[in-house]
Amino acid sequence: MGFRTYKGNFVSENGWRICDNDEIVRDLVPGTDNVRPELRRGVASTILVAWAAVWHQRVWRIDTYRPRDYWGFSWTNPVPDSNHLSGTAVDLNATRLPWTIDASVNMPAAKIKAVREMLADFEGTVFWGQDWDRKDPMHSQINLPEGDARLTEFADKLLAGHLGVYAPADPDTFPLPSGYYFGPLEGPAESISGRFATDRQSWKDGLARWQAACVLPQTSVWDKKTAAAAAALQKDNNWPITGYVSEQEWDAVIRDGQRPIHVDVAPPLPPSALPGLRWADVSQYQPVPVDDSYPYEIFAFRSNSGNKRDAKFTANYDWATRACDDGRLKFFIVYWYFWPGRANIDLLMDMVKERGGPHDRMVIMVDVEDGNGSITGDQSAEVADEVRRAREWLGHSRVIGYWNPVSNADLWRTRPPGLHLVTPSYGREPGFPKVKPEGFFAHQYTDNGPCPPFGRCDINYAHLTAEEIQDGLGLPRL
């Protein structure tokens, strides 16, 4: 066959003949393991596969969701002249970028800017659905009609190495996608440790190469010596000290030949070395749920991130309630990671009720962060409404917040009155964050502290006794 008519249309909106499966190919998107969108053979596939590859590098990865959230050719479509019917359109990151929702709602300004730069780099051959009156930011399509000589010229240019998509890879290029870095196992989604089964071998090989250049053991996984070398390199260059290896640290060592001044890694202080109170803060990113080896009197764990349930919530919650009932814990904290416009506190309440809660020694916490740049602007009004509903459910004092007044100052400008806060500030003495906002009572001083049974995790500290904290949160003393 080859070509067909669909609902009276022989060509799609962009001037390409509507086709059948005989005209469709599934070429691999360079830089991904197995992303193969169904696209029209020839120049359309060459250009849109390259578009997907550059999007994967500059905007967001397109191979992380299961089931997949990218689409190409469609046999049927509610839009009778859709360009998907001709195989000349591709949808990317559909979960993040739903149809009819303006990109500015779910897409940081820097990501939108990156797509705008891509449109310029593709020299008018691609159109972005964000520019329709009815927004469709997941959608990109061929922007010129079938047979236009400019498409052939640009496809040949891509195949000759333009934009580096189809050319041999530069061996010194940072091996991770844009926005990702080598970092700890318990880091956010952008942290590549080499310890996950889904971490690609090329990423592990890249980490081993950086380690070798720094005269470190080539373990291919994120370890203490690698973190210390990264921090030393950052200190040498007066860069922010994260202890992670991003493209900046990669280029300094691999391209520029710089070597960090090695430093010995001091062993962590034992829990009894400083006065005050500590507790762990964990989520599904820890390799195991909590068990009876947990050493502290307070325990904090995540219930959900927006609409997504934390996979280890049930095990952590059930253990925490038992530990409170038998006296091992004074109380526990359940937190939701706030995402604008999502289930958030409502999902937390549902999850707790499903476990027979709320427990009378449970405190809940709203975690307000920027999602690594995905959440921008002042979220005070929506967070205040969630805190109000949480307080109506659990009581005024048993609702607290988590907020960084340095890096996320503009994200939560106005906090509800009387809200107690946990403040993250790493690399500083426990109890002394860089800024103590109004309501401060606890300091998350590390995201890499030792704590059984998790290995490494976030650790919080307060210059208070458990009884003093209980008083402040309106919990009766045991």
Which CATH number belongs to the domain containing residue 332 in this structure? 3.20.20.80
268 in a domain, yes or no?
Answer: no
Together in a domain, 318 and 420: yes
1 in a domain, yes or no?
Answer: no
Together in a domain, 294 and 247: no
According to the model, what pLDDT value does residue 209 have?
92
Domain with 59, as residue range(s), is 21-164
- Mean pLDDT over 389-414 rounds to 93
Burial class (CB in 10 A: 0-12, 13-18, 19+), 425: buried
330 in a domain, yes or no?
Answer: yes
- Residue 415 near residue 433 (C-beta atoms within 8 A): no
* Sequence-ordered list of residues with C-beta below 8 angstroms from that of 171, at least 6 positions apart, any chain: none
Together in a domain, 249 and 299: no
Structure tokens belonging to residue 341: 């416009």
According to the model, what pLDDT value does residue 67 have?
63
Q: What is the pLDDT of residues 420-440, one digit of tens each?
A: 999 999 877 788 888 899 899
3 in a domain, yes or no?
Answer: no
4 in a domain, yes or no?
Answer: no
According to the model, what pLDDT value does residue 169 have?
59
Structure tokens belonging to residue 162: 């333009």
Together in a domain, 461 and 330: yes
Distance, in Å, from the CA atom of 149 to the CA atom of 280, rounded to the nearest integer, reads: 61
Region of 180 (left: φ > 0; alpha: ψ -120 to 50; beta: rest) is beta
The number of folded domains in the chain is: 3
Q: Which of 265-269, 342-346, 469-473 is predicted most confidently?
A: 342-346
- Residue 357 near residue 316 (C-beta atoms within 8 A): no
Together in a domain, 283 and 401: yes
Whole-number mean pLDDT of the chain? 89
Together in a domain, 292 and 408: yes
Together in a domain, 114 and 139: yes
The DSSP-derived string for 34-89 is S----EETTHHHHHHHHHHHHHHHHT--SS-SSS---B---S--SSTT-GGGGT-E
Residue 329 above 60 pLDDT?
yes
241 in a domain, yes or no?
Answer: yes
- Mean pLDDT over 361-368 rounds to 97
Together in a domain, 43 and 130: yes
